[in-house]
Amino acid sequence: MPLLKTLLACLLPAGLLLACADPSPPGDTLKQSEALHAEETGAADRPAVKLERDDVAPSAEVQTIDWAEAASYRQIERSRLSEEQLAAVDDAPVPVMLPDADPYLAAAIIMAGPHWFAASIALEHHGVSINGTRMAFVVPGVSGARKEPLPLANDHVLTRVSGIVSLSFQAFGAAYLIDVECASPFQDKRCTEDAYVLGLAESLSVVLGGER
């Protein structure tokens, strides 16, 4: 079965913006700061500028996870993880995917939130992070939005920003992101070439335990 993707926030094809962090409104402190700034600059006495754009803010949606599909995918035995790691896996609201190799599993620090999980893996001269989220921000007016999982080979996004390699894809109704950061990002082939991050993606397997 082929492998089915923020920065804790990542823009996927077809208008889906997915993020690991939960959306939250601005706090009172920010509002007070803005009001104080308006008084100091006299902006409070000037009429507000009316925007001519008809844009509608993206709407946040919690995606439905296909746990049955995740259970049918390649598995990592729970006995290969520590109790602390398994506790985070069990709290995760999306299928936890990790590279199926002992050095990666042993080094993985796993965390989970209401809509996401994150795994941080520190290795020699480089680090790997893997994030998954079920939150989607649907951009109004963008046609062709896809929510179903698609094969990695045909629907992944690979980017490089400041030497960090990022690969994102969708699977089981969730969005996943792999980041690779090297100590020497412009010399280390794990960051200058695609083979390493693509190999990590192909090695990802599911650790069951967080089914809802």
Tokens of 2: 């082929």
pLDDT tens-place values along the chain, 212 residues long:
444 333 333 334 333 444 444 433 334 444 444 444 444 445 444 444 444 555 566 777 899 999 999 999 999 999 999 999 999 999 999 999 999 999 999 999 999 999 999 999 999 999 999 999 998 877 666 544 444 443 444 478 899 999 999 999 999 999 999 999 999 999 999 999 999 999 999 999 999 887 76
> Does 40 reside within a domain?
no
> Does 194 reside within a domain?
yes
Structural domain count, the chain: 1
Contacts of 17 (CB under 8 A, 6+ apart): 9, 10, 11, 58, 136, 137, 138, 139
Question: pTM for the complete prediction?
Answer: 0.69
Cα(178)–Cα(129) distance, integer angstroms: 6
Q: Which domain holds residue 76?
A: 9-21+58-207
Question: C-alpha dihedral over 110, 112, 118, 122, to 10 degrees?
Answer: -20
Kind of pairing, strands 16-19 and 126-133?
unpaired
Give phi and psi for 111, each to the nearest 5. -130, 155
